[in-house]
Chain A
Amino acid sequence: MSLELVCPAGTLPALRAAVDHGADAVYIGFRGATNARNFPGLNFSEAEAAAGIAYARERGVRVFVALNIYPSPANWTIATETIDRAARLGVDALILADPGLMRYASDRHPTLRLHLSVQGSATNWRAIEFYRQEFGIQRAVLPRVLSVTQVARLIGRTAVEIEVFGFGSLCVMVEGRCALSSYATGHSPNTQGVCSPAHAVRWEEKPEGRQSRLNGILIDRYAPGEAAGYPTLCKGRFRVNDTVFHALEEPTSLNALDVLPALAASGVKAIKVEGRQRSPAYVGQVTSLLRRALDLCAAAPAADPHAPPPADLLAALDALAEGRTHTLGAYHRPWQ
């Protein structure tokens, strides 16, 4: 069974890059606090989205719109207007997390295809079944917490298509169940579509080294010459008992290449790439590398599922990865 490649686009040039380099589908968000990559300079106006959809359609590529925050009463209308806009544009699917918005979308736009966002936090078949029974969702994106075995078992119990993350930054916490960012800064993925937001970041050069702070809280300190990363708060170094280390997670990327054949065999429908905040060049490179990996996987379905992926492919992806290293994350039980 061939896996569908779902790639991120934060801008029209990134969308074109994904389309040109082999994506089967591209996911985008509208400007404003309605999606999980609410960063300055990112996301689409209605006109840009229309242009992007036209560009993708002409090349046989689908476009999904992500609206994956949990709106408060104050921004409910903005959220429902976003749904109406997506329906008007004729997007191929709407990616939602909030049950109230799902109700709105399925009542108002019954023909609009619904995907449960990773932010919907469904980690078992019964939770997915809730959204299918209530709203007729056709696909669910799984949080990055299940092992390959667990993914396979879940697929055996649900009629809903399953999409999983294949490459990109790694959330160590269950998506949709993490308030660490709002605890430190007041802004969270669930409420504002941001994690460890840039406006709360401060860099300092001190005799002890370069330091990063988030709303005043020291997230990391780097020795001279040590590579410094964005201070996503779960990837900082902290002290637990007497040891200072990456107590929650190292700055590393998820890369599922090693388990692609196993995921394909288990019936996973689509592989998602994280990174709507990334540049068009990055999106193009990652898309073409994963296209190659998926094509190799599809061309040799009977091959040894434990055969390692080509070394040059891994090396090229590592060069693009956060921290320049990768992990299988929860797909690999010992990581847990």
Chain B
Amino acid sequence: MTRPMKLAVGPVLYLWERRAALDFYAALCDAPVDIVYLGEVVCSKRRLMQREDWPMVARALEAAGKEVVYSTLALIEAESELATMARIVDAAGAEASGGRFEANDMAAVQYAAGRPFVAGPHLNIYNEATLQLLASRGARRWVAPVELPLATIATLGANRPPGLEIEVFAYGRLPLAFSARCFTARSHNRPKDDCGFICGDYPDGITLYSREDQPFLTLNGIQTQSAAVQNLSREVDALRAAGVDILRLSPQSQGFPAVIDAFRATIDARGAVATFPAPSLPGGYCDGYLRGEAGIDHAE
């Protein structure tokens, strides 16, 4: 029998008030999850969580038995962003617990120079040769790009480098694209350089609708997400059979403890699907990517 699947909580992709973020992580200490990703992936200007908050949060989570991973920025342009990435990589390496970082740009892989890391969902790893290469450069875990079908994940899993873990984005609004442009600031007619952190008003992003009111996408600063929440809770057995070790749940501002509980119950039930909470965001659920279809599709 294979090891039980683990549950990971992905990095918070939105700008949450510091108190809300601290409360969220405090609650995770007692939640049935195994891994927690910390840090900022989307926008380097967001600083509501202060630099010294993160080690404090990490210590509390580790004391509660969680593995902590520091995520790094996906779109790195400025020297200051490279410096922040380097500081996170160095700090993660210095942790006594063998703390790791998640690389979301090749800059982090280059800087780490062989130190162990998690290959995040924003590194483009689509085939065995690339996975082998990244593993030889220190990747110990691979978070699959969201658009990969399960068949591809299974093939890469079957031929995986020894010891490499595979993680899949199993729940949340899908991170689909990055831009130099801040769409949230733009939607409020504010320049990016004077955004006033307007994204802080939208703890789950701003839903973008088609002109016939179909929830389509979500604006989250320079990131564009799906409006629908990808929910793979019905596919847990298939994911397990494909060699997936870890399911990532992406934080949302409301009802997240119930999501964690439902996934935990589904994993533990082995075969039976736990009752899942109704979607709390407009857009409902989607799961098409797993079958190689449009990501927005949802199997009946």
Contacts and interface: CB of A to CB of B under 8 A. Distances in A.
Contact of A190 (B77, B78, B126): B126
A104 B244 CA distance: 27
Interface stretch (B6-14, B46-54, B213-221): B213-221
A74 B107 CA distance: 28
A173 B126 contact: no
Contact of A98 (B74, B76, B126, B156): B126
Interface of B: 74-79, 81-82, 105-107, 109-111, 122, 124, 126-134, 145-148, 152, 155-156, 174, 176-183, 186-187, 191-193, 206, 208-214, 216-217, 219, 224, 226, 288-289, 292-297
Contacts of B133: 99-100, 103, 134
A123 B209 CA distance: 30
Contact of A124 (B82, B180, B186, B294): B82
Given A71-B126, A178-B176, 10 more contacts: A70-B126, A72-B126, A76-B127, A127-B105, A153-B79, A173-B179, A176-B124, A177-B75, A182-B295, A183-B296
A215 to B, nearest CB: 6
B295 A183 contact: yes
For the residues of B in contact with A, the DSSP-based class is mixed
Contacts of A150: 77-78
Nearest to B74: A177
B124 A179 contact: no
A126 interface: yes
Interface of A: 70-74, 76, 97-101, 103-104, 121-127, 129-131, 133-134, 144-146, 150, 153, 172-174, 176-180, 182-186, 188, 190-191, 215, 217-221, 236-241, 243-244, 247-249, 330, 333-336
B208 A127 contact: no
A182 B180 contact: no
Contacts of B106: 122, 126-127, 130-131
B128 A73 contact: yes
Contacts of A190: 124, 126, 145, 147
A101 B132 CA distance: 12
A32 to B, nearest CB: 16
A239 B79 CA distance: 35
Nearest to A218: B210
A218 B212 contact: yes
B177 A179 contact: yes
4 smallest beta-carbon distances between A and B, as pairs: A100-B129, A126-B107, A145-B180, A100-B130
Nearest to B152: A72
A236 B217 CA distance: 12
A74 B155 CA distance: 9
A217 B206 CA distance: 18
6 contacts: A70-B126, A73-B128, A98-B129, A100-B131, A173-B179, A238-B216
A146 B178 contact: no
A65 B129 CA distance: 21
A136 B60 CA distance: 44
B211 A218 contact: yes
B183 A336 contact: no
B77 A124 contact: yes
Contacts of B128: 73, 76, 100
A316 to B, nearest CB: 28
Nearest to A70: B126
Nearest to B181: A336
A217 B216 contact: yes
A179 B146 contact: yes
A183 B294 contact: yes
